[in-house]
Amino acid sequence: MKPRLSFWQIVNMNIGFFGIQFSFGLQQSSMSPIYKYLGADEASLPYLWLAGPMTGLLVQPLIGAMSDRTITRWGRRTPYFLIGAILCSLGLLAMPFSPTLWMAASLLWILDAANNVTMEPYRAFVSDKLQPEQHSIGFLTQSAFTGLGQTLAYLTPSLLVWLGMNKDAVNGSHIPHIVIVAFMIGAVFSISSVLWTLKTTKENPLTEAELQAMRAKPAGWRHALGDIASAVREMPSTMRQLAWVKLFQWYAMFCYWQYIMLSLSTTLYGTTDQASQGFRDAGLLAGQVGAFYNFIAFVGALALVPFTRRHGPKITHSVCLALAGVAMMSIPMIHTPALLYVPMVGIGLAWASIMGNPYVMLAGCIPPERTGVYMGIFNMFIVIPMIIQIFTLPLYYRSLLGGNPENVIRLAGVLMLCGAVAVLMVKIKKTPA
């Protein structure tokens, strides 16, 4: 029987997620501007974001399956946390010094692979540690740290300006110094937060029966791949239904992250010229409103816990996605920076729910001994929509969307509303409240 953990034990267990999400926040807020600074074409931006979904597709299911089979003196999941965090810190240190577009894109592949090595074992770790009735507080606390980490990642360049750094100072590749320092701070957070979790939270020891069952399984990555294929064939129906929800919400979020800065630059500053002051100002504004929606996600994730327990993760998630859909559709109509914070409330609540409630629905329907592999496969439902978005959006960006980044944000809103409807069709296995 797993021991029941206190709230603060759950917090300590999830602090490592803060560093992982600070890294993801830097990517979301800074990669499109970095690519533009290095000369990328606006319509080709989705192709340059291919690293995240491709590494997620390849790495997370394999690492999740391998972590289910791993036996070390430190546990099943711990080695993956540490290796991923070290590689992620090195990638963050190198990224803002990229002299060319191809080098930045290559470093993003390394950075995303490192984050993915850590991510899925971390989600399995939470499920390993907690009793079923604590899954909601566990995954929504993880969601809260997602919001906090990404809040600070988005806000760091603006904080550096407020502390006296020159927002217009750039290096030889036109990358602002404030962005370079933000990535260096991210490297420190990435490794230190994971080390805190490893120091304060140990994995539950496996029983002799569990160890014997794991030793009886053939080792090696080829057998891990076979385990993935078997798990896909035996996938619970709830998980299959959630795939449609994730198709809509992650296609939408990728559209939003790639084009929100360009949309604000067009709407508020009348330019997408990366050499202009208006473009840099749009970057700071996108960071500030992004920080705000992530702060809403940080606060909202914990506020959603009683709502989720009362109404269930399905209703909660549907409401949050609907709020985000309306919010995204309204953004291109706003021409005053201060008013942008209103729709960010809806996006923040949706982001909190996206990072928590689907996992609450998932955790109750998968066998505990295969948590790692199923969490990895579940990530495929994130990255496949992203890959679809990458290869389809450039095909109709100019013809159907008029080459206007504002229309990409409107499209994201429509897709969020589709996701809100799709989640109502999911049939979930009930767990104790």
**What's the burial of 222, exposed, middle or buried (CB within 10 Å: 0-12/13-18/19+)?**
exposed
Q: Who's near 147: CB < 8 A, 6+ residues apart? A: 21, 294, 295, 296, 297, 298, 299, 300, 301, 348, 351, 352, 355
In which residue ranges of the chain is CATH 1.20.1250.20 found? Answer: 1-217, 226-432
Gap between the Cα atoms of 332 and 113, Å rounded: 34
Architecture of the 1-217 domain: Up-down Bundle (1.20)
CATH T-level assignment (fold) for domain 226-432: Growth Hormone; Chain: A; (1.20.1250)
Kindly calculate the radius of gyration of the chain based on its CA atoms and give it in whole angstroms.
21
Gap between the Cα atoms of 332 and 255, Å rounded: 14
Gap between the Cα atoms of 256 and 329, Å rounded: 11
**What's the burial of 189, exposed, middle or buried (CB within 10 Å: 0-12/13-18/19+)?**
buried
- Which pLDDT tens digits describe the chain residue by residue (433 residues)? 677 888 888 888 888 888 888 988 888 788 888 888 888 887 777 888 887 777 777 777 777 777 777 777 777 788 888 888 899 899 999 998 988 888 888 888 888 888 878 877 777 787 778 877 787 788 778 877 877 888 888 889 889 998 999 988 888 878 889 999 999 999 999 899 889 988 888 887 777 777 777 677 666 656 667 777 887 888 888 888 898 999 999 999 999 988 998 999 999 988 877 778 888 888 889 888 988 998 898 888 778 878 888 888 899 999 999 999 999 999 999 999 999 999 999 999 999 899 888 888 877 777 776 776 777 778 788 888 988 998 999 999 999 999 999 999 999 999 999 999 999 998 876 543 3
In 142-257, DSSP assigns E strands to none
Cα torsion angle, 28, 34, 40, 42, sign: positive
